[in-house]
């Protein structure tokens, strides 16, 4: 990073691998760099300056591929992010290039430890290797398989045949959708929209009654920037929750930490963009479908039902817009925008994060997938 700093770049306060200069922005990932500028000649100038400092660099050209992600422009102007090569590789590694396709990546019943199940022999494919490739796929262009991959990844160290069967279900789904990825449809704003959800004690019927994991809940979230899916995750909550309200609220709190980080990063970047068509403010909203969690986040009143919750989960209270705050005066960016985050109710059928908490049947799965992946 020292060489970039000597050339006038500053590292973002919120991501040291994001470098900013008045005329250029750079993202650094190990030994790969993505450069954005409205003056292409500046890229050649930068490369020459870095070579003079002793760096051995190779220019790849336009953003047709980056970090294994293929970027295609569609006829309507939108962009399609794909990893067809990785899907082909993982199918070949698992000897499943000719497998029958599947419409969904996971069964409705959560995947358990299966303590009495037959161990997976690691033949003809190594479980952790296949799951590792699936993790890279789902974190870049395929949020639709995040839940299924997260479930399978729990058992990397001691997989059973039942777990390998679940991985095969993911692969059969990828076989059917190998030419699909993530469609980028930017709406022209820098609004942040987050959706979070939790499945309380979802492992109750999948784990042995004596196993503490039987009480674990799964949470998930997805954050959109300008209508584009930016970051998402499906994972088991680190703590055991005692009610649906608590599970939803803990996931809301976890999602807020990510949303606040992105909000800070974008607000740091805004003054440097000099784009008059974009709002000068970042409007942020997070959607929650549980009335109790919503009331606790906005009302911020401790009751007998919630008194035992750790103060840690209330960290975001000062960042939430509350009705008593009143509408901002003369604000052109909407009646609720005051620099804070709005927590809003959403119906379960419109909860985009539902796809990250449980195995959905075909109709609701495809509805959720379309709202996220765009197909």
Q: Are residues 288 and 167 in the same domain?
A: no
Domain C-terminal end among 126, 156, 176: 176
Side-chain half-sphere exposure of 90, counting CA atoms within 13 A: 25
Got the DSSP string for 31-42? TEEEEE-S-THH
pLDDT band at 94 (very low <50, low <70, confident <90, very high): very high
pLDDT band at 332 (very low <50, low <70, confident <90, very high): very low
3-class DSSP assignment, residue 18: strand
Give the helix/strand (H/E) hosting 244. helix 244-273
Tell whether 283 is covered by a domain: yes
Q: Report the domain count for the chain.
A: 3
Q: Are residues 231 and 366 in the same domain?
A: yes
Domain C-terminal end among 144, 176, 208: 176
What is the DSSP code (8-state) at residue 65?
Answer: E
pLDDT, position 336? 47
Tell whether 190 is covered by a domain: yes
Q: Which residues lie below 8 Å from residue 233, measured CB to CB, with a gap of 6+?
A: 146, 220, 221, 356
Tell whether 281 is covered by a domain: yes
Cβ proximity of 374 and 182 under 8 Å: yes
Residue 57's nearest CA partner among 66, 69, 48, 70 is 48
pLDDT band at 264 (very low <50, low <70, confident <90, very high): very high
Residue 348 has pLDDT above 70, yes or no: yes
Q: Are residues 192 and 168 in the same domain?
A: no
Q: Are residues 334 and 229 in the same domain?
A: yes
194-253 tens-digit pLDDT: 999 999 999 998 998 888 888 999 999 999 999 999 999 999 999 999 999 999 999 999
124-164 tens-digit pLDDT: 999 999 999 999 999 999 999 999 999 999 999 999 999 99
Residue 334 has pLDDT above 80, yes or no: no
Q: Are residues 298 and 217 in the same domain?
A: yes
> What CA–CA distance (Å, rounded) separates 248 from 221?
11
Candidate ranges 239-253, 294-308, 330-344; pick with highest mean pLDDT? 239-253
pTM summary value:
0.93
Phi, psi (rounded to 5 degrees) for 234? -130, 125
> What CA–CA distance (Å, rounded) separates 55 from 36?
20
Q: Are residues 155 and 300 in the same domain?
A: no
Q: Are residues 337 and 210 in the same domain?
A: yes
Tell whether 74 is covered by a domain: no
Q: Which residues lie below 8 Å from residue 86, measured CB to CB, with a gap of 6+?
A: 68, 133, 136, 137
Residue 29 has pLDDT above 90, yes or no: yes
Tell whether 127 is covered by a domain: yes
Tell whether 67 is covered by a domain: no
> What CA–CA distance (Å, rounded) separates 359 from 356?
8
pLDDT, position 330? 45
Share of the chain above pLDDT 90, in %: 77
**124: cis peptide before it, omega within 30°?**
yes
Tell whether 76 is covered by a domain: no
What is the DSSP code (8-state) at residue 122?
Answer: -
Mean pLDDT of the chain: 92
Domain of 305, in residue numbers = 186-373
Tell whether 72 is covered by a domain: no
Residue 352 has pLDDT above 50, yes or no: yes
Domain C-terminal end among 126, 151, 176: 176
Q: Are residues 24 and 172 in the same domain?
A: no
Residue 62 has pLDDT above 80, yes or no: no
Share of the chain above pLDDT 70, in %: 94
pLDDT band at 120 (very low <50, low <70, confident <90, very high): very high
Report residue 264 as tokens: 């800070």
Q: Are residues 144 and 170 in the same domain?
A: yes
Q: Are residues 13 and 96 in the same domain?
A: no
**126: burial class by Cβ within 10 Å (0-12, 13-18, 19+)?**
middle
Q: Are residues 166 and 278 in the same domain?
A: no
Phi, psi (rounded to 5 degrees) for 79? -115, 145
Q: Are residues 36 and 155 in the same domain?
A: no
Side-chain half-sphere exposure of 13, counting CA atoms within 13 A: 8
Report residue 362 as tokens: 């075909």
Cβ proximity of 319 and 341 under 8 Å: yes
């Amino acid at each position: 990073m020292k060489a970039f700093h000597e050339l006038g770049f500053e590292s973002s306060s919120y991501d040291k691998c994001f470098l900013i200069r008045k005329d250029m922005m750079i993202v650094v990932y190990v030994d790969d760099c993505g450069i954005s500028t409205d003056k292409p000649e500046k890229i050649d100038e930068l490369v020459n300056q870095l070579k003079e400092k002793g760096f051995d660099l190779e220019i790849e050209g336009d953003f047709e591929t980056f970090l294994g992600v293929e970027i295609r422009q569609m006829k309507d102007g939108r962009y399609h992010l794909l990893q067809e090569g990785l899907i082909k590789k993982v199918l070949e590694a698992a000897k499943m290039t000719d497998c029958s396709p599947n419409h969904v990546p996971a069964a409705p019943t959560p995947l358990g430890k299966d303590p009495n199940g037959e161990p997976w022999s690691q033949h003809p494919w190594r479980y952790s290797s296949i799951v590792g490739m699936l993790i890279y796929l789902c974190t870049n262009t395929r949020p639709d398989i995040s839940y299924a991959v997260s479930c399978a990844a729990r058992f990397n160290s001691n997989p059973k045949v039942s777990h390998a069967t679940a991985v095969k279900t993911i692969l059969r789904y990828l076989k059917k959708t190998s030419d699909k990825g993530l469609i980028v449809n930017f709406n022209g704003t820098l609004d942040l929209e987050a959706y979070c959800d939790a499945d309380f004690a979802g492992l109750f019927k999948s784990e042995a009654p004596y196993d503490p994991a039987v009480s674990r809940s799964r949470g998930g979230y997805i954050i959109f920037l300008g209508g584009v899916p930016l970051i998402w995750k499906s994972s088991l909550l680190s703590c055991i929750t005692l009610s649906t309200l608590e599970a939803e609220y803990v996931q809301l709190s976890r999602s807020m930490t990510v949303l606040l980080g992105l909000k800070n990063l974008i607000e740091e970047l805004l003054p440097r963009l000099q784009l008059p068509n974009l709002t000068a403010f970042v409007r942020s909203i997070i959607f929650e479908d549980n009335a109790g969690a919503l009331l606790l986040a906005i009302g911020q009143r401790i009751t007998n039902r919630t008194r035992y919750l750790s103060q840690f989960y209330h960290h975001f209270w000062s960042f939430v817009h509350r009705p008593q705050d009143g509408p901002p005066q003369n604000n052109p960016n909407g009646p609720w925008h005051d620099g804070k985050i709005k927590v809003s109710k959403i119906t379960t059928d419109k909860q985009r994060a539902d796809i990250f908490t449980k195995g959905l049947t075909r109709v609701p799965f495809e509805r959720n997938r379309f709202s996220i992946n765009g197909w």
